[in-house]
Amino acid sequence: MSATGAPRSGVRGPAKVTAMADADIGVIGGSGFYSFLDDVTEITVATPYGRPSDSVFLGEIAGRQVAFLPRHGRDHRLPPHRINYRANLWALRSLGVRQVLGPCAVGGLRPEYGPGTLLVPDQLVDRTKARVQTYFDGEPLPGPASSDATESGGGTKWSGRVPNVVHLSFADPYCPAGRRAALTAARGRDWEPVDGGTLVVIEGPRFSTRAESRWHAAQGWSVVGMTGHPEAVLARELSLCYTSLTLVTDLDAGAETGDGVSHEEVLEVFAQNVGRLREVLFDTVAALPETTARDCPCVDAHGGLDLGIELP
Ligand SMILES: [Zn+2]
């Protein structure tokens, strides 16, 4: 779920990518997260997997260069199952991003996880059905998406190469350093987060039935959303640190006793909390380790495997 809100007039662009390292931290979330920055540059990025959800917006927070990508597009035109997750993560990496924060709206699966709860999950269950969730499918990498792709997203080096079939560990889907930074940031803003829990990601765009929701809750899972996957695994495949920050906007159908969740309700709660979620995100950015100082397992996600392709 992304928040609404137009970028301020300080936004420049769009411009072509000319530098290889424009940012080292990525935030995949709505325009509500970058629209209050003073100086934002809008750029378009081409990838071998087609277009990302929107332009990428570059800004600075606490001396760190941050790339913001509106997950659903700035006008929220993309439903969760139509998002080009591969293009989104590839585009961020091609800009130099190595650590990604993925805020999203979720439903609570326990009565104590009511609207306004911030939960930083440590586990994930994939219940999506029809999403491509790997770069390593043995298919040749598509060529440049457009004639100007030679200047974007790392050039043409990916064209015609064939990625090997590789199987990566995904036992712990989230970056431990990113989770620590997010939890510390939330506590610093007097927003006591839930430390850990399982995010179950459903295909959508519909919400769960009561039976599905009760089943999810009975498994001991914590929150349910539609966008946290395959974002997390694609980040892992690109050796990116990925941290999910989930904001509960409603109790899911199996955990509440009313008429079930409505889209309006979700948007309203998200809008009420987007300000403090932005504060927590910015503090998290400031607390993340320098890219060159990362010592988490994400850095060596491939464990020396031959990928067959060069990552951007
Ligand atoms: Zn990491």
For the chain, the structural domain boundaries read 12-299
Cβ neighbors of 167 (< 8 A, separation 6 or more) are none
Q: What is the pLDDT of residues 284-297, one digit of tens each?
A: 999 999 999 999 99
β-strands 123-127, 64-69: how paired?
unpaired
Burial of 273 (0-12, 13-18, 19+ CB in 10 A): buried
pTM of the model: 0.88
Q: What is the pLDDT of residues 52-79, one digit of tens each?
A: 999 999 999 999 999 999 999 998 899 9
User: Rounded to whole angstroms, how far apart are CA atoms 275 and 18?
Assistant: 32
* Ligand 1 mean position, distance from CA 189 (Å): 23
Q: What is the pLDDT of residues 195-211, one digit of tens each?
A: 999 999 999 999 999 99
For residue 179, name the pLDDT band (cuts at 50, 70, 90). very high
Q: What is the mean pLDDT of residues 128-134?
A: 95
CATH of domain 12-299: 3.40.50.1580
* Ligand 1 mean position, distance from CA 155 (Å): 26
Q: What is the pLDDT of residues 208-258, one digit of tens each?
A: 999 999 999 999 999 999 999 999 999 999 999 999 999 999 998 877 767
User: Rounded to whole angstroms, how far apart are CA atoms 116 and 273?
Assistant: 7
For the CA atoms of 290, 157, 146, 130, the dihedral, rounded to the nearest 10 degrees, stands at: -70
Q: What is the pLDDT of residues 105-116, one digit of tens each?
A: 999 999 999 999
Q: What is the largest CA-CA distance in the chain?
A: 55
* Ligand 1 mean position, distance from CA 235 (Å): 10
Q: Buried b vs exposed e over 67-76: b needs ≥16 C-beta within 10 Å?
A: bbbbbbbbeb
Q: Active-site residue numbers?
A: 250, 252
DSSP 213: H
* Ligand 1 mean position, distance from CA 266 (Å): 30
Cβ pair 249, 1 in contact under 8 A: yes
